[in-house]
Amino acid sequence: MTDIIRLTAAETAARIASGELTAVEVAEAHLARIEAVDEKVHAYLHVDREGALAQARAVDAKRAAGEPLGPLAGVPLALKDIFTTEGVPTTVGSKILEGWIPPYDATVTKRLKDADVVILGKTNMDEFAMGSSTENSAYGPTGNPWDLTRVPGGSGGGSAAALASYQAPLAIGTDTGGSIRQPAAVTGTVGVKPTYGGVSRYGMVAFSSSLDQGGPCARTVLDAALLHEVIAGHDPMDSTSIDAPVPPVVEAARSGDVAGLRVGVVKELGGEGYQAGVVERFNESVELLRGLGAEVVELSCPSFTYALAAYYLIAPSECSSNLARFDAMRYGLRVGDDGSHSAEEVTALTREAGFGPEVKRRIILGTYALSSGYYDAYYGSAQKVRTLIARDFERAFEQVDVVVSPTTPTTAFPIGERVDDPLAMYLADLCTIPVNLAGNAAMSLPCGLAPEDGLPVGLQIIAPALKDDRLYRVGAAVEAAFVAKWGHPLLEEAPQL
Amino acid sequence: MPGITREEVAHLGRLARLELSGEELDHFAGQLDDIIGAVARVSEVAGEDVPPTSHPLPLTNVMRQDTVRPSLTAQQALSGAPAQEQQRFKVPQILGEEA
């Protein structure tokens, strides 16, 4: 018998289309898997059993009636709990939205439903997507399926852990500073941050609006491409949505030819402070690309060394403004409304009770950076650094087609190690942040295990804005070469749960 | 550049409508001082001649046609309200009693 939960999304869709499997069988197999292992992993905050089965039944009925099915029809998916889902709780990992049932679907949610994808439930995340470990969730941490005492990365740790523990073949994440790519790296899965504006932000709870970008998460490059195509494309409901055709990502993932491609290695995304095993796997990936016919070019992007500092001014500034909407008046938690407090006091009491420590730290930091007298030195300077980083990327892409780097400086760290040391936590996004500041596209995919701890290492591929297809072309080539070398996908080496 | 004191954190908390506890003020003041110390270096690198970037896309004034289209009903819009009355959000007192 086929182990349904271990099939790729592409295989699952093909078997449903051919009638070899029904969408209901596939949904039930995943719901049973969730039942069996999620108590240990805690990838999901909410499992929508009835909704998933109803959607699966609808797919099977459509097929029986001979109606056309989408490329991912009947394939189950784990949705990050930052996207609104009509009638299904959406918490953003925060107590301030506990019990909130949105009255509308995010555009991403709607496109998934329209494509007949089966949404299994909502996944755990750092509160308001602020974090690199999922420990900032108000609902408890998620374990890394490779070692449950370690973090699955963050903020999208739930989505990545769901994939790595075969609780869904597809997931959706959001990436403001690395929240799709860093969890993918430390769980041995694939994650893509599309070009800014490539995927609609409508109904995606805002953290830092000029950086936030939703994107696909999967176990293979082709699956990520299939999902990318479903969720991407212009949306009039998002004024920052790009009105241009979706790059040919699926075609690129099926080609995987890198002969003659110029690949840049940036000096500033590596070196001191990187774990030895991460460097070893990265160097091996570069050699592998060379062996596949790519030309490797060494580059310098000097302003990248300021990216982390600029990010931790820009993101908190935008968050302090965005999160002002949580005022206890229209939805969500309300505390202290006992007749003795004014509306303003109720707002302050509610925000104090409803937000966790990292969210408060960032709101205060952002309020500080935007204060009169400090604005030019902090927020203003950070915006200039953003220009310099974009220029560094422009210069790099004059010489190369893609840039590669390690996705993260280290493998998954132990739960609890960095939770009260914000600066140490922020370092997890050192290599991913420049991409968000410039708004271009990037992918993380597995490139092996670090010898010293046996944990997954991610290779980051970066492409210019609107050239997302290059990520898939290079990613597919690297993935195929590694799988041939290992004899199996990396995730098969993960321990049984 | 100046550091950040406990009193400043309390002031920022008030501006941001966060009723921070004394314990939080102590804890955050030290952490925020470290973070600001680490991020202040952004002012070292960019000169006067570098224009700021606020957004990755060069978009301005994205408008839709001013036509009526379906939207949430009042019932849907109020569905998550902590309190409501007569199809409106009910909020705590916003003005003094004597007003």
pLDDT tier, A461 (very low <50, low <70, confident <90, very high otherwise): very high
Q: Does A419 touch chain B (CB under 8 A)?
A: no
pLDDT tens digits, residue range B6-64?
999 999 999 999 999 999 999 999 999 999 999 999 998 888 899 999 999 888 888 88
Mean pLDDT of A456-463: 98
Q: State how far residue A161 is from chain B, nearest Cα, in angstroms.
A: 30
Domain range for A235: 4-256+442-493
Decide: A440 and A211 in contact? Cβ < 8 Å. no
The answer to whether residue A202 sits within a structural domain is yes
pLDDT of residue B99: 43
pLDDT of residue B98 exceeding 80: no
Alpha-carbon distances of A260 from A144, A292, A397, rounded to whole Å: 37, 9, 15
- Axis-axis angle for helices B6-15, A357-369 (nearest 10): 90
Mean pLDDT of A331-355: 96
Whether pTM > 0.90 for this model: the answer is yes
**Cα gap A90→A100, rounded to integer Å:** 6
The answer to whether residue A133 sits within a structural domain is yes
Q: How many CB atoms lie within 10 A of CB A492?
A: 11
Contacts of A196 in chain B (CB under 8 A): 56-57
Query: ω into residue A210 within 30 of 0, thus cis?
Result: no
The answer to whether residue A428 sits within a structural domain is no
The answer to whether residue A453 sits within a structural domain is yes
Mean pLDDT of A395-413: 98
Return residues 6-25 of B near A (CB < 8 Å): 8-9, 12-21, 24
Return residues 19-78 of A near B (CB < 8 Å): none
CA A417 to centroid of chain Cα atoms: 22
Residue with tokens 């969500």: A332
Which of A102, A196, A331 is closest, CB to CB, to B57? A196
The overall average pLDDT reported for chain A is 97
pLDDT of residue A77: 99
The answer to whether residue A417 sits within a structural domain is no
pLDDT tens digits, residue range A195-206?
999 999 999 999
Contacts of A341 in chain B (CB under 8 A): 92
Query: Looking at A37-41, A42-46, A474-478, B65-69, which range is the least confident one?
Result: B65-69
pLDDT of residue B1 exceeding 60: no
**Cα gap A248→A385, rounded to integer Å:** 32
Mean pLDDT of A382-394: 97
pLDDT of residue A2: 60
List the structure tokens of B79. 């569905």
CA torsion through residues A289, A290, A293, A299, sign: positive
pLDDT of residue B97: 56
Query: Looking at A182-191, A422-431, B9-18, which range is the least confident one?
Result: A422-431
The set of residues, in sequence order, having a beta carbon less than 8 Å from that of B70 and lying 6+ positions away, is: none
**Helix or strand (DSSP H, E) at A181:** helix A181-187
pLDDT of residue A224 exceeding 50: yes
Mean pLDDT of A158-167: 98
pLDDT of residue A1 exceeding 60: no
Q: How many CA atoms lie within 13 A of B3 on its CB side?
A: 10
DSSP state of A493: G
Which of A348, A383, A438 is closest, CB to CB, to B17? A348
pLDDT of residue A248: 98
The answer to whether residue A230 sits within a structural domain is yes
Decide: A16 and A23 in contact? Cβ < 8 Å. yes
Q: List the CATH number of the domain containing A447.
A: 3.90.1300.10
**Cα gap A436→A179, rounded to integer Å:** 11
Decide: A268 and A305 in contact? Cβ < 8 Å. yes
What is the count of structural domains for chain A? 1
The answer to whether residue A161 sits within a structural domain is yes
Burial class (CB within 10 angstroms; exposed 0-12, middle 13-18, buried 19+) of A419: middle
The answer to whether residue A299 sits within a structural domain is no
User: Mind telling me the catalytic residues of A?
Assistant: 80, 155, 179
DSSP codes joined into one string, A18-69? HTSS-HHHHHHHHHHHHHHHHHHH--EEEE-HHHHHHHHHHHHHHHHTT---
